[in-house]
Structure 1
Amino acid sequence: MPRTVLVTGGTSGIGRAVAASFAAEEAEVFITGRHSDTVARTAEELSAHGVVHGVVCDAADPGQAAELAARVGELDVLVNAAGGLPDAGSGEASPLEELRAQWHSSLTQNLLTAVLTTASVRDGLSGDSSVISIGSIGAERKGGSYGAAKAALAAWNASLSAELAPKGVTCNVISAGYIEATNFFRGQMTDDRRRALVEETHNKRPGTVDDIARTVGFLASPGARHITGQTIHVNGGAFTTR
């Protein structure tokens, strides 16, 4: 029986690659985004791979998250891929107000979206379901408000696993290193910065969206049913654990 998969932030980058991968496996896939034109276009493009539904949803809005859950129903895999760098300040507020806005943006995009989406679909998760959230290497280094939000995502995941794993639901975070061909850096990536990020890896190459999508696929597979409450680092060795 085909699985039902929900991917937040599924219109570009990692989220899009994850959605395409599940669609190719004949899952019924729901992708979300905040902009109707982008959601519709991406869903139509990905439908060439399988059954993909586009849903306009700001996952930080409780009402929209609840409506999303009602539409999706029972769910086999949830991938919290929505997130990104904080919004740029207007330059018109005081420094402290700008700082507060930056932190609020980071926490909303990278933590609250995952928390509210997961809570909204919780009743639809079964004993074979998986919740996978996309974290970042920025949580381990000078990541500012973005890194702090991703670190909080991993801490929340550990708590979520303790709640849901007794019911058979696995909960994990994939902490991504530098991933090429995404909109993450908003066109600000320089050649020198890219070389530095690649050089710090052990395998001397940038990550790809497919690297993350394949890891998501594994964590949602029968072979990963005893893996839960973990942060899986996918960064080519740029950050190592023991």
Structure 2
Amino acid sequence: MPRTVLITGGTSGIGLATAARFAADGADVTVTGRRQETVERAAKELGVRGVVCDATETGQIEALAARLGETLDVLVNAAGGLPPAVSDDGSPLDAVRAQWETNWAQNLMTAVLTTTAVRDKLAPGGTVISIGSIGAERGGGAYGAAKAALAAWNAFLSAELGPRGVTANVISSGYVENTNFFGDRMTRERHDALVAETHNKRAGRPEEIAETAFFLASPGARHITGQTIHVNGGAFTTR
């Protein structure tokens, strides 16, 4: 039987590359996204199932879970991103609050809510993978704080799911090109500065994050759980 795989935020960038990797292995893949047109395009491109679902909306997540089969082998929480700046109209405190709440919703709660909705479907030998960020380690502001919280929650999740034979890990990515993350805020100067921070002097690629996710869902990674795996070309190192 093919593995069943759910990838939120699977219509572009890291999520799309991850969906392509699992689909190439013959998995039964479902991708989600917020917009009908992007979901349909990704599903057609990869030959997978597509479901429109805003992973910040509980009703849509519950509907998604109801559409899935009885068991799920792999969940990849790739939904998230860098929200646009909040308008400075009104109270400055309201703007700060809105910025933090938006980041919290998109970069933490998407993973928490989706995982909670499908956790009873996770089969022994299954895995939960959440996409984190180097921003959790330095200068990330509201976005970085949300990704740091994601890693903390993952450790809790791993302890809960471990007795069932399910692993849970975070892939903390550095600068990855060919995604929609920065939008029009990426300049040549910023690109060069981020590349200069790496040891191998290049940006990451979505396919490299996808390969890491594929490994974490493989038999060779069954004793890796509760971890944050840094994939950043050496821009941030641990020891």
Alignment TM-score > 0.5, same fold: yes
Q: Partner of 1:3 in structure 2?
A: 3
Is the aligned partner of 1:84 residue 2:81? yes
Q: CA deviation at 1:92?
A: 2.1
Q: Partner of 1:63 in structure 2?
A: 59
Q: Matched residues in 1 for 2:10 and 2:94: separation?
A: 31
Q: CA deviation at 1:67?
A: 1.1
Q: Partner of 1:44 in structure 2?
A: 44
Q: Matched residues in 2 for 1:197 and 1:62: separation?
A: 36
Structure 2 gaps, min length 5:
none
Describe the superposition over 1:17-62 as per-residue Cα deviations: whole angstroms up to 9, x where unpaired.
0001111111010000111111111111111xxxx11100011111
Counterpart contact for 1:87–1:105, Cα < 8 Å: no
Q: Partner of 1:207 in structure 2?
A: 204
Which amino acid letter does the alignment assign opposite residue 22 of structure 1? F
Counterpart contact for 1:7–1:32, Cα < 8 Å: yes
SS at match of 2:20: helix
Q: Partner of 2:192 in structure 1?
A: 195
2:164 corresponds to which of 167, 180, 189:
167
Q: Matched residues in 2 for 1:203 and 1:189: separation?
A: 20
Q: Matched residues in 2 for 1:192 and 1:88: separation?
A: 20
Identical-residue share of aligned pairs (%): 70
Q: Matched residues in 2 for 1:96 and 1:12: separation?
A: 33
1:101 corresponds to which of 98, 120, 127:
98
Superposition pairs of residues 92-171 of structure 1, within 5 angstroms:
92-171=89-168
Which amino acid letter does the alignment assign opposite residue 63 of structure 1? G
Q: CA deviation at 1:189?
A: 1.0
Which amino acid letter does the alignment assign opposite residue 26 of structure 1? G
Q: CA deviation at 1:143?
A: 0.3
SS at match of 1:187: helix
Q: CA deviation at 1:188?
A: 1.5
SS at match of 2:210: helix
Which amino acid letter does the alignment assign opposite residue 20 of structure 2? A
Q: Matched residues in 2 for 1:150 and 1:71: separation?
A: 28
SS at match of 1:122: helix
Is the aligned partner of 1:30 residue 2:30? yes
Which amino acid letter does the alignment assign opposite residue 148 of structure 1? A
Q: Matched residues in 2 for 1:224 and 1:38: separation?
A: 32
Q: Matched residues in 1 for 2:181 and 2:234: separation?
A: 20
SS at match of 2:183: coil
Counterpart contact for 1:86–1:103, Cα < 8 Å: no
Structure 1 gaps, min length 5:
none
Q: CA deviation at 1:88?
A: 2.4
Aligned Cα root-mean-square deviation (Å): 0.8
Which amino acid letter does the alignment assign opposite residue 187 of structure 2? T
Is the aligned partner of 1:186 residue 2:183? yes
Q: Matched residues in 2 for 1:203 and 1:87: separation?
A: 30
Describe the superposition over 1:112-167 as per-residue Cα deviations: whole angstroms up to 9, x where unpaired.
00000000001100111100000000000000000000000000000000000111
Q: Matched residues in 1 for 2:88 and 2:45: separation?
A: 38
Counterpart contact for 1:9–1:15, Cα < 8 Å: yes
TM-score of the two chains, using structure 1 as the length reference: 0.97
Structure 1 residue runs of 4 or more that deviate by more than 4 Å after TM superposition = none
Q: Matched residues in 1 for 2:136 and 2:234: separation?
A: 15
Q: Number of aligned pairs?
A: 238
